[in-house]
Amino acid sequence: MKMLIPHMTEAELGQLRASAPALDFLVARDRQEALTLAPQAHASFSYYHPDLVAAAPHLRWVQTRSAGVDNCPFDQFRARNITLTNARDIYGIQLADHTLALILAFSRQLPLLCRAQQRQEWVSRHTFPPGELAGQTILVVGLGGTGLESARRAAGFGMRVLATRRRTSEPKPGFVDALHPPEDLHQLLPQADWVAVCVPLTRHTRDLFSDREFALMKRNAHIVCVTRGGIINTAALVRALEKGRIGGAGLDVTDPEPLPAGHPLWSRPDVIITPHAAGHSPHADTRMHDLLCQNVRRFARGEALLNVVDLELEY
Amino acid sequence: MKMLIPHMTEAELGQLRASAPALDFLVARDRQEALTLAPQAHASFSYYHPDLVAAAPHLRWVQTRSAGVDNCPFDQFRARNITLTNARDIYGIQLADHTLALILAFSRQLPLLCRAQQRQEWVSRHTFPPGELAGQTILVVGLGGTGLESARRAAGFGMRVLATRRRTSEPKPGFVDALHPPEDLHQLLPQADWVAVCVPLTRHTRDLFSDREFALMKRNAHIVCVTRGGIINTAALVRALEKGRIGGAGLDVTDPEPLPAGHPLWSRPDVIITPHAAGHSPHADTRMHDLLCQNVRRFARGEALLNVVDLELEY
């Protein structure tokens, strides 16, 4: 059997071959080269655009490099029952670090103080009101890899942690105070001082946060999102901020992305924008390669793969 | 018995009187008025300058409004065996929030990204390297109120937590991996990715961090201090940063303070300066008043006071 892979170091390729000696690895340097090799491929890592899938009649398994799979050709995968595995649990740690960094930056007034530092001005402590997280309520929307790690960190600050998760039958972690099904979102929003959006972008979560949801939030509550643009409706967010409906927004992902110069979100003092940087970590590549080696070994042996995506739920 | 207090709301004064009906409260609106009332006072909240202590022959107890007591007239307190109680445990929560906010801001590159946002520029993720805290080592120097809360939060991020504490006989909290006496500082510094200075300023801790300590730190390690200026020797810090001996510094307190415009620390991209704001929280005043009421009740009943400062150790 043959697996299509992008270029990697000799050391990485060596580890991959050692993980599955029976597998042949076809190295493609770009999408065009991948398309040429596609007819031979039984599996593919990181290449899965529609043309390629159409040109690969033997394709049975696709491994993505990302946690989000919103750009996958699900119709083709469903029609041919191609197994899709993603990179969840690779990014949860740094996405949660970034989520808490944004929350603490708002709570401790770092954007204002960063600008004061640029002016070399020791601003009076009475001109701004830093908060404290202990006793405040965070609503983690989507208790998956990123949500779990965010909830764990928030609990360390003494926050009350509410969360939603589709799979409510799985046990509730001790650091989560209450776990609800996604349908309870609207009844939970009025309780939250902080809303951490941790769901993936799917056809079910597009525009999950729009006018109605912002209207349900506390006027001083903040929303933070590091997973994908499009879950928060940008126009509705701008309306909510301009009308003072919510306290602020910390966004590592936007819609459109990149956020164009001149967009109203850039210059608002109640908004922090970071450029899709939350997934970055010096250890992400190592974790990704470890996962790839494990799944390659499992695939060669015909064992169950890790991180299988539900083709109906699309995550 | 009589207690000197600053102006407070009627509600607060009512709570204070209810806490100790036998005590008379002398309200002084400023230091001069306090000095006039001093001869009658057996106790004093927030007023304790040397002239006042000298003018108060019956003074037996002083309660400060701050956790740090480095500005107290210890010679007078020791000579007359005046009991000093401070506000530790009032500020630990928000000081720890601020400590982690500074650490996460460095780790996730927020100062650089804050400046990019001002330019309305979606910078490439490859131009800066965000880190992740999991697996990194934090050294909490001084496991008191602020140190404990900082250590608890750091553990939630999966960090390895080392700490120093003078009172090593007290039990080690589960979220601290190793607890050492202060004398071990030099052997611990080379292990730390993050150094959180949580000791108070005393004659023993002035210039605790100077050339030798920075030389022992990892070249990419950061130091963070939210307790008092003077514990870190400013000139030595500037030298260490200019020579690239350490990765950066997050300072809510400086020496001199306020940091004057034109000081080299203001403009360094590897330094975050906040203006002695870490102690601020919407709940600090409530916690302070609760502590005051408790100690007033205990004083009136002749019971042991909370937060007694060791007059020899000066904290």
The stretch B51-62 carries a mean pLDDT of: 98
For chain B, what percent of residues have pLDDT higher than 90? 94
User: What residue of B is the nearest CA neighbor of A105?
Assistant: B101
Inter-chain contact A132–B281, Cβ cutoff 8 Å?
Answer: yes
Alpha helices for A157-253 (secondary structure H): 185-188, 211-216, 234-242
A213 in catalytic set:
no
Residue A72 is predicted with a pLDDT of 95
Alpha helices for chain A (secondary structure H): 10-19, 31-37, 50-54, 74-80, 92-107, 110-118, 145-156, 185-188, 211-216, 234-242, 284-301
pLDDT bin (cut points 50, 70, 90) of residue B150 is very high
**Is the separation of the CB atoms in A240 and A212 below 8 Å?**
no
Q: Give the contacts of A286 (CB within 8 A, at least 6 positions apart).
A: none
Residue B125 is predicted with a pLDDT of 75
Catalytic residue among A17, A42, A276, A298: A276
Residue A247 is predicted with a pLDDT of 98
Residue B79 above 90 pLDDT? Answer: yes
For chain B, what percent of residues have pLDDT higher than 70? 100
From the list B94, B120, B132, the residue facing A262 with the nearest CB is: B120
Residue B56 is predicted with a pLDDT of 98
Residue A241 is predicted with a pLDDT of 98
Cβ-Cβ contacts under 8 Å, B129 against chain A: 280, 282
CA dist A138 → A153, A159, A178, A234, A281 (Å):
11, 7, 11, 22, 25
- Cα B315 to its chain centre, rounded Å, is 11
From the list A108, A117, A128, the residue facing B97 with the nearest CB is: A108
3-class DSSP assignment, residue B49 = coil
Inter-chain contact A263–B98, Cβ cutoff 8 Å?
Answer: no
Domains of chain A, with CATH numbers? Answer: 2-89+282-301 (3.40.50.720), 92-273 (3.40.50.720)
Residue A167 is predicted with a pLDDT of 85
N-term to C-term CA, chain A: 27
**Minimal CA separation from B119 to chain A, in Å:** 8
**Is the separation of the CB atoms in B217 and B190 below 8 Å?**
yes
Residue A125 is predicted with a pLDDT of 75
Cβ-Cβ contacts under 8 Å, A263 against chain B: 120
The pLDDT tens digits of the residues spanning B81-132 come to: 999 999 988 999 999 999 999 999 999 999 999 999 999 999 987 788 889 9
3-class DSSP assignment, residue A172 = coil
E strand segments, B98-221? 137-141, 160-164, 178-180, 194-197
Query: What b-and-e string marks burial along B149-174, b requiring 16 or more CB atoms within 10 Å of the CB?
Result: bbbbbbbbbbbbbbbbbbeeeeeeee
User: What residue of B is the nearest CA neighbor of A98?
Assistant: B108
**Is the separation of the CB atoms in B193 and B220 below 8 Å?**
yes
B33 in catalytic set:
no
**Is the separation of the CB atoms in A221 and A193 below 8 Å?**
yes
CA dist B127 → A280, B112, B113, B246, B270 (Å):
12, 10, 11, 21, 16
| pTM, 2 dp | 0.93
CA dist A152 → A145, A167, A214, B255 (Å):
11, 18, 25, 36
The pLDDT tens digits of the residues spanning B246-260 come to: 999 999 999 999 999
Residue B288 above 80 pLDDT? Answer: yes
Residue A291 is predicted with a pLDDT of 97
Output the tens digit of pLDDT for each of chain A's 315 residues. Answer: 999 999 999 999 999 999 999 999 999 999 999 999 999 999 999 999 999 999 999 999 999 999 999 999 999 999 999 999 999 889 999 999 999 999 999 999 999 999 999 999 999 877 888 899 999 999 999 999 999 999 999 999 999 999 999 987 889 999 999 999 999 999 999 999 999 999 999 999 999 999 999 999 999 999 999 999 999 999 999 999 999 999 999 999 999 999 999 999 999 999 999 999 999 999 999 999 999 999 999 999 999 999 999 999 998
pLDDT bin (cut points 50, 70, 90) of residue B154 is very high
